[in-house]
């Protein structure tokens, strides 16, 4: 019989939920795999518990099997949440107020075809969308690639795909996802 309460030892220090695909850091603390990727992508790769720089992390398969067996409902629920929700790797601070609408529009028109991309871009200040398979390094490469002349507004991940939104230089500081004449 599953306990309703998951002990703190099995709670991720980033998302504050049961660790999904737990990773063990070189300092011995554990995090979810998605949370490890998130802190590495942001560049602040320090353990949230001891603040040591994260040199490496590796899967803790024994803990993963244990959590799946002892806390199957909590584990499955958090796993579903992580795999079906948007992970925000980067968001320009001036665009934070538009995040909910941006994600809602991405869910309604995922940019996986030209028609959906055009529908997503309609009535927005987004210049272009880059979409592809999600890897550990593709976001870092794009963020630091000087060939991109348009500023990155947001880097989002969902279901193994990364979506990168770029805007026009002159509109970058406005923080407007929806064009002002189209705002609700």
Instruction: Give residue 109's pLDDT.
Output: 81
Res. 152 pLDDT band, cuts 50 70 90? confident
Q: Where are the domains of the chain?
A: 8-84, 87-182
- Joined together, the tokens standing for residue 115 give 């028609």
Cβ neighbours of residue 85 closer than 8 Å, sequence gap 6 or more: 158
Output the average pLDDT for the chain.
Answer: 76
Res. 178 pLDDT band, cuts 50 70 90? very low
8-84: CATH class: alpha beta
**Which value, to the nearest 10 degrees, does the dihedral of the CA atoms of residues 59, 65, 70, 74 take?**
60
Which H helix or E strand runs over 158? Answer: strand 152-158
Contact, 9 vs 21, CB < 8 A?
Answer: no
- Judge whether residue 31 has pLDDT over 80: yes
Res. 157 pLDDT band, cuts 50 70 90? confident
Phi and psi, residue 127, nearest 5°? -80, -45
**Per-residue model confidence as pLDDT tens digits over 38-77:** 777 666 688 999 999 988 889 999 999 999 999 999 998 8
Instruction: Give residue 171's pLDDT.
Output: 46
Instruction: Give residue 114's pLDDT.
Output: 82
Question: Of 167, 89, 161, 93, nearest to 131 (Cα)?
Answer: 161
Distance, in Å, from the CA atom of 183 to the CA atom of 126, rounded to the nearest integer, reads 14
Which one is predicted more confidently, 9 or 96?
A: 9
Cβ neighbours of residue 34 closer than 8 Å, sequence gap 6 or more: 15, 20, 21, 82, 87
**Per-residue model confidence as pLDDT tens digits over 107-127:** 888 887 888 888 888 877 777
**What is the residue whose two structure tokens read 């499955």?**
76
Which H helix or E strand runs over 66? Answer: helix 61-70
């Amino acid at each position: 019989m599953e306990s309703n309460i998951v002990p703190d030892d099995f709670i991720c220090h980033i998302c504050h939920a049961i660790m999904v695909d737990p990773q063990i850091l070189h300092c011995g603390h554990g995090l979810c795999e998605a949370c490890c990727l998130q802190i590495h992508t942001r560049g602040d790769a320090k353990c949230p518990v001891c603040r040591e720089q994260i040199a490496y992390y590796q899967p803790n398969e024994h803990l993963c099997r244990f959590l799946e067996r002892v806390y199957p409902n909590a584990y499955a629920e958090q796993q579903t949440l992580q795999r079906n929700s948007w992970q925000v790797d980067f968001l320009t601070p001036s665009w934070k107020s538009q995040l909910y609408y941006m994600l809602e529009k991405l869910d309604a028109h995922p940019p996986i075809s030209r028609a959906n991309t055009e529908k997503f871009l309609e009535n927005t200040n987004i210049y272009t969308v880059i979409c592809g398979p999600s890897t550990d390094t593709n976001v870092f490469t794009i963020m630091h690639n000087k060939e991109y002349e348009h500023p990155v507004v947001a880097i989002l991940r969902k279901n193994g795909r990364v979506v990168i939104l770029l805007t026009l230089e002159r509109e970058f500081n406005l923080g407007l996802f929806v064009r002002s004449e189209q705002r609700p």
